[in-house]
C-alpha cells in the first residue's frame, strides 16, 4: 500500500470545525487505499502565545504568563470537548497534566528570570504535544484507527535549540521502530510537527514553521510515496496572496524552484522541506484543507517548460544591509575570508553579497548580534549597517531562456530605489534589495507585469477568469 505523509498546518487544526474537516480529508485518503501518517502543527497562533507567555515569565510577569496559559488551557479543553465524546476523562486529564506542568515551568521562569533557548523549546513544544493528542482522539472517534506518537521519540536532532538540525540515521531508525510497526498493523500514526529531541532525549525544535520539515523528514525516513502539505491557500501561488489578491496557483513547480522560493521567504513552505523529498525523489503536493478538491501544487524533480520567465515572486523582510568599506585595496589576499570568519564566529548566515574594489555589501537577517558583528568588522574597515530592508526574489527555471529580463524587471519597478542586485548565484532566481516599506508596491508592480498573460499549462488561469 502506498504511504502518504499528510502535514496539516495551524489553520487546518485551528478549531473543532477545522479538525473535523481534516479528519474527513484523512478518511478520504484511507478510503482511496492509502496509508497516511499524519503530522500536525499546534492550533493556529498557539506557538506565538506560548512564546509570549515565556517572554512575560522571563520578565517576572508571572500573572500575565499564567493568564496566557489559562486561556490556552480553555481553548484546548473546549476544542477537545467539542470533538471527543468517549473517554472524555482521559483527554481532559492529559490536557490538565500538560498545562499544570507548563504553569510550573512558567512560575519557575518568573523566579529565575532567564529564558534559555532550551527552556524556550520546552515551553513551545506544548503546542504540538497537545494538538497531536487531541487530534488523535478526534480521529479515533471518527472511525480512523489513529495512534498517537510523540514526535520527540522519532525526530532526533543535534542540540542547537530553537533551530535544531535533524540527524538522518537516527530518524530513519526511529521511524522503523516507532512508525513502521503501526503502519504494518493497519494503524494511522498521528504526531506533532516542529518538535524533536536530541539524542539525550531533551526537547528541541526545528525552527518556526518547522512542521513542514517534520512532514518531509518522516516522508524521507519511511520512503513514503507522497508528501502532502495541507495549508490555508490553494497551493504555491505566483506570490503571497495576502499581498496580491489576484495571485494565481502554480500547478506544478520543480524542487529547485520551490526550495529557492521557500528560502527567499515564501512562508507557504519551510525552506528545509524540500531536501528530504529531493534525496528520495518523493513528490510533494501543497493543498488547501479548506478547499480539498482543488488540485493544489505539485512539486516534482523536473518541471515542464513554462512560457513565462517566472513562476513566483517571494519576499523576505526584516533584513539588514551591512557595508564594509576599506581604505586600502579590498581584494588583497585573505580579506574576504576575514570578513566571512566574523559572520561565521557569530553564526550569522549571509543572504547576498556584492563587492566593488573598496567595499563589500552583505545582507543578513536583522538580529541582536548585529552591533557585535559590526564591532568585529570595524577592526578591518569602516562599517555601516541599516535595517528595515526587504529582499525580493523572482524565481523561475525559464529565466535563462529569456533575453532582457533584468531590464524588464527593473523597468517594472523603476519608481523604487534598489539597494543591491544579485543574479547569477543561481540560474533560477533574480533578487534585489529595497526598503521594507517599498516591498508590497514592488511585488504588485512585478506581478502585474509578469503575470499578465500566464501560461495556462503552469498556472491556474481558470480561477482568474472565474473571478472576473
Tell me if 239 contacts ligand ADP by CB under 6 A.
yes
448-452 long-range CB contacts below 8 Å, 24 or more apart? 448/412, 449/408, 449/412, 450/308, 450/309, 450/310, 450/313, 450/394, 450/408, 450/412, 451/238, 451/247, 451/248, 451/308
Among 183-191, 238-246, 301-309, 459-467, the segment contacting ligand ADP (CB under 6 A): 238-246
Nearest to 49 by CA among 106, 114, 118: 106
Any contact of residue 312 with ligand ADP (CB under 6 A)? yes
Contact indicator for 319, 366 with CB cutoff of 8 Å: yes
Q: What Cα–Cα distance (Å) separates residue 24 from each residue in 36, 42, 257, 381?
A: 13, 19, 31, 61
The size of the interface with ligand ADP (CB under 6 A), counted in residues, is 19
Residues in 401-460 that interact with ligand ASP by CB under 6 A: none
Site for ligand ADP in 256-275 (CB under 6 A): 266-268
In the complex, least distance from residue 127 CB atom to ligand ASP, rounded to whole angstroms: 6
Q: How far is CA 19 from CA 131, 141, 146, 184, 259, in A?
A: 10, 12, 14, 26, 29
Q: Report how far residue 285's alpha carbon sits from residue 145's, in angstroms, rounded to the nearest whole number.
A: 24
- Assess 231 for contact with ligand ADP (CB under 6 A): yes
Instruction: Report, in Å, the least distance between residue 159 CB and ligand ADP.
Output: 25
Residues 271-300 that bind ligand ASP (CB under 6 A): none
Q: Does 288 bind ligand ADP (CB under 6 A)?
A: no
CA gyration radius, the chain: 23
Could you tell me which of 38, 133, 41 has the C-alpha nearest to residue 84? 133
Q: CB of 165: closest distance to Mg ion in angstroms?
A: 19
Rounded to 5°, angle at Cα 10 from 7 and 13: 80
Q: Give strand pairing partners of 9.
A: none
Taking the least distance from each CB to ligand ASP, the nearer of 126 and 385 is 126
State in angstroms the smallest separation of the CB of 169 from ligand ADP.
27
Task: Considering only the stretches 41-49, 55-63, 136-144, 397-405, report the one whose residues sit in contact with ligand ASP under the rule CB under 6 A.
Answer: 41-49
Binding site for Mg ion (CB under 5 A): 9, 209
Instruction: Select the residue interacting with ligand ADP from 36, 189, 192, 209 (CB under 6 A).
Output: 209
Interface residue with ligand ASP among 11, 12, 22, 47 (CB under 6 A) is: 47
Alpha-carbon distance of 223 to 163, in angstroms, equals 24
Residue appearing with cell numbers 482543488: 294
Measured from the CB atom, is 154 or 266 closer to ligand ADP? 266
Q: Name the burial class of residue 417, with classes exposed (0-12), middle (13-18) and buried (19+) by CB atoms within 10 angstroms of its CB.
A: exposed
Of 193, 271, 276, 309, the one binding ligand ASP (CB under 6 A) is 193
Q: In what order do the strands lie in the sheet with 252-254?
A: 146-149, 188-192, 35-40, 3-8, 226-231, 284-288, 297-300, 252-254
- Of the candidates 3, 6, 25, 42, which one interacts with ligand ASP according to CB under 6 A? 42
- Please identify, using beta-carbon distances, which residue of 171 and 183 lies nearer to ligand ASP: 171
Residue 33: all three cell numbers together: 487505499
What separation in angstroms does the CA of 231 have from each of 184, 202, 464? 28, 29, 21
Site for ligand ASP in 85-144 (CB under 6 A): 127
Binding mask 322-361 for ligand ASP (x = CB under 6 A): ----------------------------------------
Q: How many residues line the site for ligand ASP (CB under 6 A)?
A: 13
Separation CA 177–CA 336 (nearest Å): 47
Here the cell at position 13 is 487544526
Q: Which range binds ligand ADP by CB under 6 A, 4-12, 252-260, 359-367, 409-417?
A: 4-12
Pairing of strands 195-198, 156-157: parallel
**CA 263 and chain centroid, separation:** 9
284 contacts ligand ADP (rule: CB under 6 A): no
Considering only residues 22, 35, 41, 361, which one is a binding residue for ligand ASP as defined by CB under 6 A?
41
Q: Near ligand ADP by CB under 6 A, which window of 47-55, 167-175, 232-240, 430-438?
A: 232-240
Q: Residue 268 binds what, of Mg ion, ligand ADP, ligand ASP, none (CB under 5 to 8 Å, by partner type)?
A: ligand ADP
9-18: buried (b, 16+ CB within 10 Å) or exposed (e) per residue?
bbbbbbebeb
Q: Which one of 52, 208, 307, 317 is in contact with ligand ASP (CB under 6 A)? A: 208
> Do residues 143 and 188 lie in contact, with contact meaning Cβ atoms separated by under 8 Å?
no
Counting contacts by CB under 6 A, is residue 127 touching ligand ADP?
Answer: no
203 sits near ligand ASP (criterion: CB under 6 A) = no
Residues 210-269 within binding reach of ligand ASP (CB under 6 A):
210-212
Binding interface with ligand ASP (CB under 6 A): 9-10, 41-42, 47, 127, 193-194, 208-212
Binding interface with ligand ADP (CB under 6 A): 9-12, 41, 209, 231-233, 236-237, 239-242, 266-268, 312
Amino acid at each position: 500500500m502506498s504511504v502518504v505523509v499528510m502535514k496539516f498546518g495551524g489553520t487546518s487544526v485551528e478549531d473543532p470545525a477545522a479538525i473535523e474537516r481534516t479528519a474527513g480529508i484523512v478518511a478520504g485518503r484511507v478510503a482511496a487505499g492509502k496509508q497516511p501518517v499524519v503530522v500536525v502543527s499546534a492550533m493556529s497562533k498557539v506557538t506565538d502565545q506560548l512564546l509570549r507567555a515565556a517572554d512575560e515569565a522571563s520578565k517576572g510577569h508571572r500573572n500575565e504568563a499564567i493568564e496566557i496559559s489559562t486561556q490556552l488551557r480553555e481553548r484546548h479543553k473546549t476544542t477537545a470537548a467539542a470533538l471527543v465524546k468517549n473517554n472524555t476523562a482521559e483527554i481532559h486529564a492529559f490536557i490538565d497534566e500538560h498545562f499544570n506542568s507548563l504553569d510550573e515551568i512558567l512560575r519557575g521562569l518568573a523566579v529565575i528570570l532567564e529564558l534559555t533557548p532550551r527552556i524556550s523549546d520546552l515551553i513551545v513544544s506544548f503546542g504540538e504535544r497537545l494538538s497531536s493528542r487531541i487530534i488523535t482522539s478526534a480521529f479515533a472517534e471518527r472511525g480512523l484507527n489513529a495512534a498517537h506518537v510523540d514526535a520527540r521519540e522519532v525526530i532526533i536532532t543535534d542540540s542547537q535549540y530553537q533551530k535544531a538540525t535533524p540527524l538522518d540515521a537516527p530518524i530513519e531508525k526511529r521511524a522503523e521502530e516507532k512508525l513502521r510497526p503501526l503502519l504494518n498493523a493497519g494503524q494511522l500514526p498521528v504526531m506533532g510537527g516542529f518538535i524533536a529531541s536530541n539524542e539525550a532525549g531533551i526537547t528541541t525544535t526545528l525552527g518556526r514553521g518547522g512542521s513542514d520539515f517534520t512532514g518531509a523528514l518522516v516522508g524521507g525516513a519511511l520512503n513514503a510515496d507522497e508528501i502532502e502539505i495541507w495549508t490555508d491557500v490553494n497551493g504555491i501561488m505566483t506570490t503571497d496572496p495576502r499581498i496580491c489578491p489576484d495571485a494565481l496557483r502554480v500547478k506544478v513547480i520543480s524542487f529547485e524552484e520551490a526550495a529557492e522560493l521557500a528560502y527567499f521567504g515564501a512562508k507557504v513552505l519551510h525552506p528545509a522541506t524540500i531536501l528530504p523529498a529531493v534525496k528520495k525523489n518523493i513528490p510533494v503536493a501543497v493543498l488547501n484543507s479548506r478547499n480539498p478538491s482543488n488540485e493544489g501544487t505539485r512539486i516534482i524533480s523536473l518541471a515542464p517548460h513554462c512560457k513565462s520567465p517566472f513562476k513566483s515572486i517571494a519576499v523576505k523582510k526584516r533584513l539588514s544591509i551591512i557595508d564594509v568599506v576599506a581604505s586600502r585595496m579590498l581584494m588583497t589576499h585573505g580579506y574576504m575570508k576575514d570578513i566571512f570568519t566574523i559572520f561565521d564566529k557569530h553564526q550569522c548566515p549571509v543572504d547576498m553579497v556584492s563587492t566593488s574594489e573598496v567595499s563589500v555589501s552583505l545582507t543578513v537577517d536583522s538580529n541582536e548580534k548585529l552591533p557585535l558583528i559590526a564591532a568585529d568588522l570595524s577592526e578591518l574597515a569602516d562599517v555601516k549597517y541599516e535595517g528595515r530592508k526587504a529582499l525580493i526574489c523572482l524565481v523561475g527555471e525559464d529565466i535563462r531562456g529569456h533575453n532582457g529580463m533584468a531590464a524588464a524587471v527593473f523597468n517594472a519597478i523603476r519608481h523604487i530605489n534598489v539597494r543591491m542586485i544579485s543574479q547569477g548565484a543561481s540560474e533560477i532566481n533574480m533578487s534585489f534589495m529595497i526598503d521594507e516599506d517599498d516591498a508590497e508596491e514592488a511585488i504588485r508592480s512585478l506581478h502585474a507585469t509578469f503575470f499578465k498573460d500566464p501560461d495556462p499549462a503552469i498556472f491556474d488561469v481558470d480561477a482568474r477568469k472565474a473571478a472576473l
